[in-house]
Amino acid sequence: MNKRGMFFGLYLVVITLILCGVVFMVRYQQGQDLPNELVSPVVVLDVVDGLSVFEMREVELIKESAKGVNFGSGDFDKEFRVNFLAAVKSDDKMKGFIFKNLTVEDRLTNEAPGFFDNVLYPEGLTSKDGNSLVFGRTEVGKKLSSRVPKANKNYFPVEFTFEFERMYEIRKVNGKVEVTVV
């Protein structure tokens, strides 16, 4: 019997383990010297979460503002608009989300008189059709930069613009206000 064949499998296992060890050592050493870091997506996720909360609150305010309006009357669209804009202007969380890093037509914008009435919810995006009302928010955005927290390493900041708009159809069905996204 040839005894050399019995030890050949053992040699292959030892050589494989040695090569795996070399690969792990090289990877560890390169990781120590790596001068670049990844950018965290937390900023993007915060904006998406904030927008979701903003839109949920927007729907709540639409329903509250529409409850006091007599649908189908002559000026129910104007009455609704006045109620809604007053509610939005008094909501500090909504204002905080909107005005943080706000851009309109790629320009950074701060809070200005008439911003809600003329820019964010312009009268041109409100129209009535029988017993329904179409109400909209114009396209606005946020311009943000995602950066690495450690300044001692090389990194590539990622700047992005997040734009959003929304149109709603508001109807009163069986005494209840229904809001659907158009």
**pLDDT value at residue 36:** 57
Using alpha carbons, select from 173, 176, 92, 179 the residue that is nearest to residue 137: 179
Cα 130 to Cα 77: distance, rounded to the nearest angstrom: 11
pLDDT tens, 127-171?
Answer: 887 778 899 999 988 888 877 666 666 667 788 888 889 999 988
- For 130, phi then psi, to 5°, come to 65, -115
| Lowest-confidence pick of 35-49, 56-70, 129-143 | 35-49
pLDDT score, position 55: 94
Per-residue DSSP letter, 123: G
Q: What is the pLDDT of residues 4-39, one digit of tens each?
A: 667 778 889 999 999 999 999 988 887 766 555 666
Summarize pLDDT for 78-124 with one digit per residue, the tens.
888 899 999 999 999 998 898 888 877 777 777 777 888 888 899 88
Quick one: pLDDT at residue 16? 96
